[in-house]
Structures are given as structure tokens and as C-alpha cells.
Amino acid sequence: MKRWDLHSLAPSSKKETARAPGADAPRVPRSGAQMPRVLFTSPECRAVVLDLRAGEELGDHHVRERAVVEVLSGRVSIESSGETVDCETGTLLTFDPGELHTVHALADARLLLLLAPWPGTQHNTEAQKGHDQHLPVNAVTEPIPPANPADPTA
């Protein structure tokens, strides 16, 4: 078992190194200094945490995977298919693969994004296919270490 405390993560806008380009880079848009952090990746799913400051926006975009978004803290407004909804902490949303949407932070917000399967059909070019499960070098958050390091299942 691996676990993360999503409420105590340092803000992702305070990355010390710039995002390195390449196949291991995060697969979600970024705005300004905001940088998504990948918690884990597997063929079934990729989990990403991203922070948006009040007023920041992830402009009209889509992903090739099914996207599940939970608002962990704050408030966002999400527009998709001509509908706009305000989402408070605890809101869970899903987007079909390829569904265009815009996310606008009404207040400082932290989002959990699950992309499944990872990567989606036609996500990578043929040359990138060998990098499907690599974690981004500059945008990874390690899980909480086990209570008993001698027993990784503790």
C-alpha cells in the first residue's frame, strides 16, 4: 500500500526546478508557475495533484483519457459542453475522453485528477510509447514512508 496526505502537500506552484520537456513531463496543462504533481502512474491510471490560485485558469483543453476530478479544497468553476458549474470542496466530476473543458479557480484550490487508462488511446506518438509509465522527474510527490521501514506493508 502507498499513501499520500493530499491536504498537507506543499503547493505545487513552489517547484524549485522548471519542468523538463520530454516524454516524462506531466500530461496536463499548466498555467503560469503552477505545476501538476504526479502521485503515481500505472497502465490503469495516473493520479495528479494540481493547485490553482484564485483567478488562475486551465483554459479550454482535453485529455485522451477519462478524467475524474475531485475538488480537495477551494472552489472552481468548470465549463464543458456549454454548461458552467461552480464546484466546492468535495465535488467529484468526470469527463469523457476528448471532452473539452475549462477550469477557473474562484478561490485557491487543490484538485486531484485521475486519468484512466494511462495513457489513453493515441496519447503518445510512436516514439514516445516506451515512456508511458515514466514519472516526471520534476513533478513527483513520493508517498508517505511506512511507519515501520522494516515492514513496507505497515
Domains and CATH numbers, the chain: 38-122 (2.60.120.10)
End-to-end CA distance of the chain: give it in Å, rounded. 8
34 or 106, which is more confident: 106
Tell me, yes or no, if the pTM score tops 0.75: no
pLDDT tens track for 130-150:
555 555 555 566 666 777 666
- In contact, 148 and 79? CB cutoff 8 Å: no
Most confident of 15-24, 54-63, 65-74, 144-153: 65-74
pLDDT tens track for 10-55:
776 444 444 444 444 444 444 455 568 888 888 888 899 999 999 9
- 66 Cβ neighbours under 8 A, 6+ residues apart: 94, 95, 96, 97, 115, 116, 120
- In contact, 107 and 72? CB cutoff 8 Å: no
